[in-house]
Amino acid sequence: MEYVNLGKTGLKVSRICLGCMTYGSPAGAEPKPGRHAWALNEADSQPFLKQALDLGINFFDTANVYSSGDSEVVLGNFLKANTRRESVVIATKVHGLMRDEPNGKGLSRKSILFELDQSLQRLKTDYVDLYQIHRWDYEVPIEETLEALHDAVKAGKVRYIGASSMFAWQFAKSLYLADLRNWTRFVSMQNHYNLLYREEEREMTGLCVDQGIGIIPWSPLARGRLARPWNSESTKRLETDRFGTTMYSPTEDADHKVVDRLVEVSSKREVPQAQVALAWLLAKPAITAPIVGATKPHHLADAAASLSIKLTPEEIKSLEEPYTPHPVLGFS
C-alpha cells in the first residue's frame, strides 16, 4: 500500500479509501433513509473490513445517512475490536435526511453539532479525522455552516474538514470565507469523478490543484459500470440502484465507447478493467485516494493492484478520447 498526505495537511492516508456505504443494514419492509437492497449486514461486512486492514488501507469513509446510521455502527464496532484508533483515519459526512422532522437534515449549526455527536457515538470514538459536508445546503448560509465546523474542530471532536459534490464557485466561496474569518479550511473534496463522468475537470480539479485540496473521488468505477463489459451480466446493485440510474444512462452511446476502450486497454495488459480504471484516476493531479466499495474479495484486491499500474500517455489518450460532455450530475 502507498500513503500520501491529504492535500496540504500532514495527515497520511492510504491511496485507496474503503467506502462503507455498502455496510450496515439492507433495505427492509420499513423504508428508512440511506438503506439499499445491496447493503451487507454487520456479519457479512466483517471480511471486507478485515481485508482492507490486511491490505494496509487505513482510510475509511462513511456517512451518517448510510443505512440510517448503521454503517457508522458497523465500522465503529469493527475498528474498536480490530485496531488502534490512532492507526486509522475515519471520515464521515453530514447533511442527509436522518429524521422526518424540520431539523432532521441539513447543515445548520443545530444539525451539524447534534449529528456529529450522534456519529461519534455510533463510531465509538471521541473524534472524527475528516468531517465532510455531504452536499451544499441551499437553505443555510454557508457562514453558519463553516463556523459550526470550525467550532467542532476547536472542541477537539474533528481533526480536519472536507466537502463533497458542489459547484466550483461554491467551494471557492467557502475557502475564501474561511480565510477571511480565520475559520478552519476545507482540506479535501469528495466528488463524482471517473472515466464515464469527467465534468469535474472543467473547474473543480483546477481549483483543487491550485489550492492544495486533496481529491477523494466517489464512484470511481461508475457504480460498477467500469468493472465489466457493457452488456455483461447484471448485478443486484445495478438492478436496484435508483440513484445510479439517474447518473448513467444504459443507452448512452458515448459511454458504451468509453467502456469498450477500457476493455481494449485492460485486455492488452491482461488485467481486470477495474484496475485500469482506477490507475487512470490515480494518475490525475490532486487525486489522493479513490473511494472504493467492496462486496467481493477481488474488489479490494483489484483496487490495491491498480497502484502498480502506470499507464502510458498513449493509453491515457486512448481511454479519454471517446468521452463526450455530460450534464452536471451528483450535486443533489
The residues carrying an active-site annotation are 66
Q: Beta-carbon neighbour count of residue 134 at 10 Å?
A: 19
Cell numbers given for 260: 469498450
Which regions of the chain does DSSP assign to beta strands (E)?
3-5, 12-14, 17-19, 59-61, 89-94, 128-133, 158-164, 186-190, 214-215, 291-292
> What's the distance, CA 30 to chain centroid?
27
At 201, is the secondary structure helix, strand, or coil?
A: helix
* 22: Cβ contacts below 8 Å, ≥ 6 apart: 38, 39, 40, 45, 48, 293, 294, 295
Closest CA to 189 of 161, 210, 169: 161
Alpha-carbon distance 281 to 297, whole Å? 21
Greatest extent of the chain over all pairs of C-alpha atoms, in Å: 55
Cα within 13 Å of Cα(83), Cβ side? 22
CA-only gyration radius of the chain, Å: 19
The DSSP code for 17 is E
Q: Count Cα atoms within 13 angstroms, Cβ side, for 332.
A: 5
Contact present, 110 and 103 (Cβ < 8 Å)? yes
